[in-house]
Amino acid sequence: MPGYLCQAARNLIGLSQQELHLLSRVSKKSINDYENGFAVLRPPLIERIAATLREQGARLVTGPGFVGVVASASRDDEQGRSRSPRKAPAHAPRAKPVGNLGDGHAG
């Protein structure tokens, strides 16, 4: 899982870097550097991050010529609020997860 997908997944499910750090037991600096392309993490750390993102509802979606992230439900949706007080809750239809975050393949 590339760092930019980690960041996309984290944002999609409404986790801050601090929350991901606490849940995954990976340092906040490592997460920040990884997401911004300043660090290459060891596979066990990437798997801990990926497992945490999966547990929180993120799924990697891949296909011919594309890769992306979908969320089965964001924490904000479940709580009925946005993390930003300026935003109203979004009521977009949920996409069905079709892959596993971290394995690079749909299925």
Residue-wise pLDDT tens digits, 89-100: 444 444 444 444
**What DSSP assignment string belongs to 33-77?**
HHHTTS----HHHHHHHHHHHHHTTEEEEEETTEEEEEES--HHH
Predicted confidence (pLDDT) per residue in 38-93, tens digit:
999 999 999 999 999 999 999 988 889 888 899 886 455 555 444 544 444 444 44
pLDDT tens readout for residues 6-32: 999 999 999 999 999 999 999 999 999
Which residues are CB-contacts of 79 (< 8 A; sequence separation ≥ 6)?
Answer: none
Q: Residue 60 has what pLDDT? A: 85
3-79: CATH number:
1.10.260.40
Residue 17 confidence (pLDDT): 97
For residue 75, the model assigns a pLDDT of: 55
Candidates 43, 48, 44, 101; CA nearest to 70 is: 101
Contact status, residue 99 vs residue 107, Cβ threshold 8 Å: yes
CA distance readout (Å), 77 to 12, 26, 56: 11, 25, 12
pTM score, whole prediction? 0.66
State phi, psi for 32 to the nearest 5 degrees.
-60, -50
Domain ranges of the chain: 3-79
Provide the 8-state DSSP code for 85: T
CA 105 vs CA 13, 67, 87, 99: distances in Å:
20, 9, 34, 6
User: What per-residue confidence (pLDDT) applies to 72?
Assistant: 80
